C-alpha cells in the first residue's frame, strides 16, 4: 500500500472510532439510565484516548512528513486530504497531552458548574473555573500558533482561514444595516400584531407531524432517526445520521423549528458521499459555518417562507387537527421581537446576540478583559443592542454553556452560516425556481440543488474558497440583509 492509501486507511479507522463515540454520546443524551453515566464516561474517555493516540502516532507523523514533501505529485482532492490531516496532526501534536487532558477535565467540570450557577443565577460560582479555562486556552493557543491572537487560533479551528479582524469588519459593516431593518420592523403593525392561537400539542401528535415534515424536507429515515432530547442536536455516523428535538408540549412551534434546524444538519450529513465519509476532507475539513448554514437554510430560508407553508399547511392541519389560520401562523413564526435569550430569538435579532458574544470574546482574548467584568459588559451590550434590561445572570451571561464548555471562537460561525446561506440562496434562485418549487410541493428540487452544489463537497475546500466556488464571488454580507429585507417587507407590508 502506498503512503497516501495508508493515510486513508488510518483516516478510515479514525472515522470508525469517531462513529463509535458518536453512538455512545447519542445514547448518553437520549436513553441512558442514570447509573450508567459513570461507566459511559469511562467508555468515552477510552475511545477519545484511542482516537488521539492513533491520530498522533509516529506512523502518521512519518507518513505525513513524506507526503507533505511531495504534495505536487497529487491532485487537488488528494492534496486536500493530506493537508487537512496534516493540519489536525500538527494541532494535536503541538500541544502537550497533559494540557489537553487537563482541558477535558476542566471542561467537563465547567459545564457542571455552569448548570448549577445558572440555576442559582450566580455568575460568581462559575468565575473561578472560567478563569482556569481561559488561562489554559491561552496557553494551548500559544502552543498551536504563538504568532496570532488566541482567538484567531480558535476561530481557525471551527472556520478554517477565518480570523477576528475579518469577522470584526464583516460585523461592523453589517450591524448598522441590521439595526435599521430592525427599527423598520419594530414600526410595522403586522410585526406587532398579537397572533393568538393555541400552541399546545400532545407529544405523540407532534412526533407524527415532525416525522412527516422532516421526511418531506428530505431527511431520510432509512439513514437516521428523530428522538427527544432536552437540547436538539444532530449526531452522525456513516449511513446513520440522527437528529433530535425537544417535544415542547406547551409550544409546538419551538419543537418544530428545532426539528427543522436539525433536519437541515441531518440532510447535509446524509448526503456526504458514503465512499468518502471517513476521508480526511470530511473528518477534518469541515467548517462550522457551512454546517450551520445548511441547518438554517432548512429552518429559515425554507421553513419560515410563506411559500413553504402555503403547500404544507393543509397537511399540517390534517396531521395535528389544529384550527389555525395560515396567515397568522406565517406572521407568528417570522415576528421580530428582541429576546433576552438567544435560542428564542428570531432570525434577525439572533445576529445581534452573536455579535455581542463575539465582541466580549474579542475583549477577553485581545484585550484581557477580566472575568469578573463579564456580567456587567454583557448586560450593557444587551441594553445597547437589543434595548432589553437583564435582571439576573441566568437570563444574561449564564444563558449559554459555550464558554464553560470551551467553545471560544464558535459563536461567529452561527452568523457566518447565515451569511453563506443568503449568498448561496441568491445563486440558487438564479438557477432554479425557488418560490415556485416550494409552492408546488417540489421542495425536492431545492434540496437536490443544495446536495449537488453544497453537500456533496463540503470539506473539500476552505469555507471562503468553497463559497466562491458555489457563488462565483467572495463573502458579501449584503445578501443576508437583502434577503431579510425582502422577506420582511413582503410579510409585514413595510
Active site residues: 262
Q: Is the dihedral of CA 427, 177, 300, 237 positive or negative?
A: positive
Q: Rule CB under 8 A: is residue 238 a binding residue for its own copies? A: yes
* Maximum Cα–Cα distance across the chain: 68
Q: Rule CB under 8 A: is residue 197 a binding residue for its own copies? A: no
Residue number with CB closer to its own copies (238 or 455) = 238
Q: Rule CB under 8 A: is residue 33 a binding residue for its own copies? A: yes
DSSP state of 475: -
Residue number with CB closer to its own copies (29 or 324) = 29
Q: Which residues pair with 243 in a beta bridge?
A: 226, 234
Q: Rule CB under 8 A: is residue 132 a binding residue for its own copies? A: no
Q: Rule CB under 8 A: is residue 36 a binding residue for its own copies? A: yes
Rounded distance between C-alpha atoms, residue 401 and residue 23, angstroms: 22
- CA 417, chain centre distance (Å): 8
Q: Rule CB under 8 A: is residue 377 a binding residue for its own copies? A: no
Q: Rule CB under 8 A: is residue 237 a binding residue for its own copies? A: yes
Q: Rule CB under 8 A: is residue 23 a binding residue for its own copies? A: yes
Rounded distance between C-alpha atoms, residue 65 and residue 72, angstroms: 14
Q: Rule CB under 8 A: is residue 223 a binding residue for its own copies? A: yes
Among 7, 8, 10, 47, binds its own copies (CB under 8 A): 47
Our CA angle for 110, 113, 115, nearest 5°, is: 110
Q: Rule CB under 8 A: is residue 20 a binding residue for its own copies? A: yes
In the numeric block, the cell 424536507 is attached to: 217
Among 1, 2, 5, 34, binds its own copies (CB under 8 A): 34
Residue number with CB closer to its own copies (46 or 197) = 46
Using alpha carbons, select from 19, 100, 16 the residue that is nearest to residue 56: 100
Q: Rule CB under 8 A: is residue 222 a binding residue for its own copies? A: yes
Residue number with CB closer to its own copies (46 or 77) = 46
The SS3 assignment for 239 reads: coil
Among 32, 179, 369, 494, binds its own copies (CB under 8 A): 32
Rounded distance between C-alpha atoms, residue 333 and residue 218, angstroms: 21
Shortest Å distance, C-beta 268 to its own copies = 16
**Using an 8 Å Cβ cutoff, are 377 and 363 in contact?**
yes
Residue number with CB closer to its own copies (42 or 368) = 42
Residue number with CB closer to its own copies (189 or 222) = 222
Q: How many CB atoms lie within 10 A of CB 311?
A: 16
Rounded distance between C-alpha atoms, residue 356 and residue 400, angstroms: 13
Q: Rule CB under 8 A: is residue 273 a binding residue for its own copies? A: no
119 CB-near residues (< 8 Å, 6+ apart): 394
Number of residues that bind its own copies (CB under 8 A): 33
Shortest Å distance, C-beta 30 to its own copies = 9
Would you tell me which residues interact with its own copies (CB under 8 A)? 13, 16-17, 19-20, 23-24, 27, 31-40, 42-43, 46-47, 50, 220-225, 237-240
Amino acid at each position: 500500500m502506498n503512503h497516501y492509501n495508508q493515510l486513508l486507511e488510518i483516516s478510515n479507522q479514525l472515522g470508525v472510532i469517531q462513529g463509535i463515540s458518536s453512538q455512545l454520546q447519542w445514547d448518553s443524551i437520549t436513553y441512558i439510565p442514570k447509573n450508567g453515566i459513570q461507566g459511559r464516561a469511562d467508555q468515552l474517555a477510552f475511545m477519545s484516548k484511542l482516537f488521539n493516540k492513533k491520530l498522533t502516532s509516529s506512523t502518521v507523523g512519518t507518513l505525513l512528513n513524506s507526503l507533505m514533501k511531495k504534495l505536487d505529485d497529487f491532485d487537488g482532492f488528494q492534496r486536500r486530504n493530506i493537508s487537512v490531516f496534516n493540519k489536525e496532526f500538527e494541532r494535536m501534536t503541538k500541544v502537550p497531552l497533559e494540557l489537553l487532558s487537563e482541558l477535558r477535565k476542566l471542561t467537563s467540570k465547567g459545564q457542571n458548574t455552569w448548570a448549577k450557577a445558572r440555576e442559582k443565577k450566580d455568575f460568581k460560582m462559575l468565575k473561578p473555573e472560567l478563569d482556569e479555562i481561559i488561562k489554559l486556552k491561552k496557553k494551548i493557543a500559544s502552543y498551536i500558533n504563538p504568532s496570532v491572537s488566541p482567538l484567531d487560533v480558535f476561530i481557525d479551528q471551527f472556520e478554517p482561514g477565518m480570523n477576528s479582524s475579518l469577522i470584526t469588519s464583516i460585523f461592523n459593516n453589517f450591524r448598522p444595516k441590521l439595526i435599521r431593518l430592525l427599527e423598520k420592523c419594530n414600526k410595522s403593525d403586522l410585526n406587532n400584531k398579537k397572533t393568538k392561537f393555541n400552541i399546545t400539542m400532545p407529544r405523540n401528535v407532534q412526533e407524527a407531524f415532525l416525522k412527516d415534515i422532516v421526511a418531506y424536507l428530505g431527511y431520510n429515515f432509512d439513514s437516521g432517526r428523530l428522538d427527544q432530547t432536552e437540547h436538539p442536536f444532530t449526531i452522525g455516523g456513516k449511513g446513520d445520521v440522527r437528529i433530535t428535538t425537544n417535544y415542547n408540549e406547551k409550544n409546538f412551534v419551538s419543537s418544530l423549528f428545532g426539528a427543522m434546524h436539525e433536519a437541515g444538519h441531518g440532510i447535509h450529513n446524509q448526503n456526504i458521499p458514503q465512499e468518502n465519509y471517513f476521508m480526511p476532507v470530511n473528518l477534518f475539513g469541515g467548517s462550522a459555518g457551512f454546517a450551520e448554514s445548511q441547518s438554517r437554510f432548512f429552518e429559515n430560508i425554507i421553513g419560515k417562507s410563506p411559500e413553504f407553508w402555503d403547500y404544507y399547511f393543509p397537511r399540517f392541519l390534517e396531521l395535528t387537527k389544529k384550527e389555525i389560520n395560515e396567515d397568522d401562523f406565517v406572521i407568528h413564526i417570522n415576528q421580530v421581537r428582541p429576546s433576552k435569550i438567544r435560542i428564542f430569538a428570531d432570525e434577525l435579532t439572533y445576529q445581534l446576540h452573536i455579535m455581542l458574544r463575539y465582541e466580549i470574546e474579542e475583549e477577553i482574548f485581545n484585550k484581557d478583559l477580566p472575568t469578573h467584568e463579564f456580567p456587567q459588559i454583557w448586560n450593557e451590550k444587551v441594553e445597547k443592542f437589543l434595548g432589553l434590561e437583564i435582571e439576573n445572570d441566568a437570563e444574561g451571561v449564564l444563558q449559554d454553556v459555550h464558554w464553560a464548555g470551551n467553545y471560544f471562537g464558535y459563536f461567529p460561525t452561527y452568523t457566518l452560516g447565515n451569511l453563506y446561506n443568503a449568498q448561496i440562496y441568491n445563486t440558487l434562485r438564479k438557477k432554479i425556481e425557488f418560490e415556485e418549487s416550494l409552492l408546488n410541493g417540489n421542495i425536492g428540487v431545492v434540496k437536490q440543488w443544495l446536495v449537488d452544489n453544497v453537500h456533496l463537497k463540503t470539506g473539500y475546500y476552505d469555507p471562503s474558497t468553497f463559497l466562491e466556488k458555489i457563488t462565483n464571488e467572495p463573502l458579501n454580507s449584503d445578501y443576508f440583509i437583502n434577503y431579510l429585507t425582502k422577506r420582511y417587507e413582503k410579510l409585514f407590508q413595510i
